[in-house]
């Protein structure tokens, strides 16, 4: 794999996951201090972020892909599936897990996804489980546990429905990471993420219409926070994470996504002035350890006969043209 492309992939996923985590902290402030409805925020940020991404694509050379992605029936169906069962599912199941339980359990269960991705890769791609796979997944789960609970098992006591939503969130995150790869072989990441957001936001609008929110009562600070969540915590975060799949393996992108809870916890400590315990520092060290392991691993650890087989096609890390 091209070293420069791998470095750019690491940059995109690290930046995207970090913005995703910070966006979560900003969203938490909106929920607590401004009584913003969770479902309204999910709907509005998906619709606006998706529209902006397609506008960016409109000024690029491959602008024809905005419409071109819909011309092939198979590709159009794949995009709709990704938008509903990938983009929207990740958003909604995670929020539902928080609503019925708490953010700690929701995030921990969502980060079962790296293990799910590796198991899928083993079953479908006939790869060998390496020591690095075991180490990185263990660090991801341990890091998230310590970061979000500070080592206290009592914080994990939640209703069964919250656990169900949390596990579904992990499945959705794994599906989101894996399913996008096939589409990225044919179309630019801006097009895929932009349309997926619009599809997800449009579908959720039927359940939680965005126009039912009284936005006139919001303060200037609230508008700034909403803008940050939409641009950095959604538009750039999702775009960069998906773009990283063009030069990283799905399992690597999934593992480095564990930077999300790290950035969320750190910004909560610095900005919202919440204490940071000893075990949370242990968790932070675990997450940083994953980043260092993958950053210094120059070659993919999932090996096949000269190439990595993804979504039924062969790729060497470069996007295929349609």
Q: What span, in angstroms and rounded, lies between the C-alpha atoms of 22 and 6?
A: 24
Q: What is the structure's pLDDT at 307?
A: 29
Question: What's the chain's average pLDDT?
Answer: 81
Percentage, residues of the chain above pLDDT 70: 87
318 is a domain residue: no
On the question of pLDDT at 90 being above 60, the answer is: yes
Q: What is the structure's pLDDT at 303?
A: 42
Full domain range(s) for residue 125: 3-312
pLDDT tens digit sequence for 50-60: 999 999 999 98
Percentage, residues of the chain above pLDDT 90: 26
Total structural domains in the chain? 1
The pLDDT confidence band at residue 309, using thresholds 50, 70 and 90, is very low
Q: What is the structure's pLDDT at 68?
A: 93
CA atoms within 13 Å, Cβ hemisphere of 188: 17
320 is a domain residue: no
pLDDT tens digit sequence for 99-155: 777 666 677 777 778 788 888 888 876 567 788 888 888 888 888 888 777 788 776
On the question of pLDDT at 300 being above 60, the answer is: no
The more confidently predicted of residues 287 and 71 is 71
50 is a domain residue: yes
pLDDT tens digit sequence for 224-273: 999 999 999 889 988 898 889 888 888 788 778 778 777 877 887 788 77
228 is a domain residue: yes
114 is a domain residue: yes
Q: Are 279 and 104 in contact (CB under 8 A)?
A: no
302 is a domain residue: yes
Q: What is the pTM of this model?
A: 0.77
């Amino acid at each position: 794999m091209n070293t420069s492309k791998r470095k750019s992939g690491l940059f995109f996923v690290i930046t995207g996951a970090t913005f995703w985590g910070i966006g979560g902290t900003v969203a938490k402030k909106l929920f607590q201090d401004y009584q913003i409805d969770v479902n309204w925020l999910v709907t509005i940020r998906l619709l606006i972020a998706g529209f902006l991404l397609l506008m960016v694509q409109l000024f690029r050379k491959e602008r024809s892909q905005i419409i071109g992605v819909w011309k092939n029936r198979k590709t159009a169906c794949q995009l709709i599936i990704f938008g509903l069962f990938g983009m929207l599912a990740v958003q909604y199941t995670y929020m539902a897990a928080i609503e019925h339980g708490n953010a700690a359990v929701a995030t921990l269960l969502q980060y079962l996804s790296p293990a799910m991705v590796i198991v899928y890769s083993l079953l479908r791609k006939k790869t060998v489980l390496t020591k690095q796979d075991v180490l990185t997944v263990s660090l991801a789960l341990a890091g998230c546990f310590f970061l979000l609970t500070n080592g206290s098992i009592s914080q994990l006591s939640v209703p069964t429905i919250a656990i169900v939503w949390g596990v579904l969130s992990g499945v959705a995150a794994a599906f989101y990471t894996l399913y996008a790869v096939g589409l990225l072989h044919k179309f630019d990441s801006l097009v895929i993420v932009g349309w997926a957001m619009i599809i997800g936001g449009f579908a959720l609008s039927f359940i939680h219409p965005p126009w039912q929110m009284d936005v006139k009562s919001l303060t200037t600070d609230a508008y700034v926070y909403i803008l940050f969540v939409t641009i950095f915590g959604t538009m750039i975060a999702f775009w960069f994470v998906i773009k990283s799949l063009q030069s990283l393996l799905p399992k690597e992108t999934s593992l480095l996504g564990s930077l999300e809870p790290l950035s969320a916890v750190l910004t909560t400590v610095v900005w919202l002035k919440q204490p940071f315990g000893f075990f949370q520092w242990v968790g932070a060290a675990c997450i940083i350890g994953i980043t260092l392991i993958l950053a210094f691993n120059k070659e993919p650890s999932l090996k096949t006969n000269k190439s990595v087989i993804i979504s039924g096609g062969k790729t060497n890390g470069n996007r295929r043209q349609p």
